[in-house]
Amino acid sequence: MPVGTTLDRYIMQRQLAFAYATGELSQLLRDLALAAKIVHREVNRAGLIDLTGGMGLQNVQGESQQKLDVVADIRFRRALTNGGEVCALISEEEEDIIYTGNNQGKYVVAIDPLDGSSNIDVNVSIGTIFSIYRRVTPIGTAPTVEDFLQGGHEQVAAGYILYGSSTILVYTTGHSVDGFTYDNSLGEFILSHPDIKTPTDGAIYSCNDGNVDTYEPAIQTYLTMCRRKEYTARYIGSLVADFHRNLLKGGIYLYPPTSKNPDGKLRLLYECYPLAFLAERAGGKAITSSGSVLDVQPQYLHQRAPLYIGAPSMMNELTQLLRA
């Protein structure tokens, strides 16, 4: 579809292309886009209306919650509940499953409403990550944890919204990966990055350098190689922003096990699965310490995993070192 197509039209045309599509997933994507517009607005005026700063609360991961985290959590939850296509969702900000009361809904959603939240107060890019599954429990019954622990390959769609110098929504339903930039004046997401393919090779590496001494030797060796090759080090500390840059320019993002986070820091269901799904559809690769991210069998909702994700040739070099 041509650059300049609105997200709404794009979703509609995609639905028409699939004879048996009922429109429910299309509606769900529209609901997410609506919440994204609202969060975009809140992020942009956060400094003005005193939304920034901690609330003095902690989320289920024991991290301090920013006000905007709460705002984004509420907005996405409300949009998905009102939309009617989703029977339940899980959020990185909430301990348990959130039931929407729409037991006829075919879909469940895992969402990190505001990723990179430590960056809110300093005007640095932040993002939302989402992952959609078709429920496995019977329609009309209450959804269960089983609906969320299906595994990465069962995602029917995944994407993110990056609230950066512009706001962009990138998603895939398993075919192409497409990016839609938000046009403030029109109030529309406009197709700006059709069929994103990540470069085969790259020269950017992204990790938290302060943790390097606690990385396993294979990762340290890989990073030494990056420095010898004079690659560029870039680390924003917002996964969505680091991932998006590397996806477009070619690079690798690493969050290995550390002494503070021996299982890795990032969450399998909210962060690793959706970005792995996107990366693979765009020609990239995503692994944990032991193999493909999408192959990891999930055990519980807030499970963490090491994440290495990026351009295929960089990932191949890293994989060889991890296997050695």
Interacting residues toward Mg ion by CB under 5 A: 112, 115
* Distance in Å, CB of 234 to ligand AHM, minimum: 12
Cα gap 113→91, rounded to integer Å: 7
CB of 30 or CB of 245, closer to ligand AHM = 245
State which residue, 190 or 309, has the beta carbon closest to ligand AHM: 309
Q: Which CB, 24 or 112, lies closer to ligand AHM?
A: 112
* Cβ partners under 8 Å of residue 159, min gap 6: 32, 129, 130, 169, 170, 171, 172, 274, 278
Residue 63 annotated as part of some ligand binding site: no
Selection from ligand AHM, Mg ion, none that 265 binds (CB < 5 to 8 A by kind) is ligand AHM
Q: How far is residue 196's CA from residue 176's CA, in Å, rounded to a whole number?
A: 7
Least distance between ligand AHM and beta carbon 160 (Å): 11
The verdict on whether residue 116 carries a ligand-binding annotation is yes
CA–CA dist 224, 218 (Å, integer)? 10
Of 113 and 251, nearer to Mg ion (C-beta) is 113
Pick 74 or 136: Cβ nearer ligand AHM: 74
Spell out where the chain has E strands. 54-58, 64-66, 86-91, 98-99, 107-115, 126-134, 155-163, 167-172, 177-183, 188-193, 204-206, 232-233, 252-255, 285-287, 307-310
Please give the Cα distance from 268 to 148 (Å, whole number). Answer: 11
Compute the least distance from the CB of residue 256 to ligand AHM, in Å: 11
Cα dihedral across residues 82, 83, 85, 88: positive or negative? negative
Burial of 316 (0-12, 13-18, 19+ CB in 10 A): exposed
Binding site for ligand AHM (CB under 6 A): 63, 92, 112, 115-117, 208, 237-239, 242, 265
Q: Determine the Cα–Cα distance for residues 322 and 228; give it in Å rounded to an integer.
A: 19
Is 265 one of the annotated binding-site residues? yes
Contact partner at residue 63 from ligand AHM, Mg ion, none, CB < 5 to 8 Å by partner kind: ligand AHM
Give 31 or 115: the residue with its C-beta nearer to Mg ion: 115
Contact of residue 237 among Mg ion, ligand AHM, none (CB under 5-8 Å per partner type): ligand AHM
**Binds 238: which of Mg ion, ligand AHM, none (CB < 5-8 Å by kind):** ligand AHM
Query: Quick count: other Cβ atoms within 10 Å of Cβ 230?
Result: 7
Tell me if 95 is assigned to a ligand binding site: no
- We find the least distance from the C-beta atom of residue 166 to ligand AHM, in angstroms, to be 19
**Which residues fall in the annotated binding site for substrate?**
115-118, 208, 235, 253-255, 265
Known binding-site residues equal 92, 112, 114-118, 208, 235, 253-255, 265, 271
Annotation: binding site for Mg(2+): 92, 112, 114-115, 271
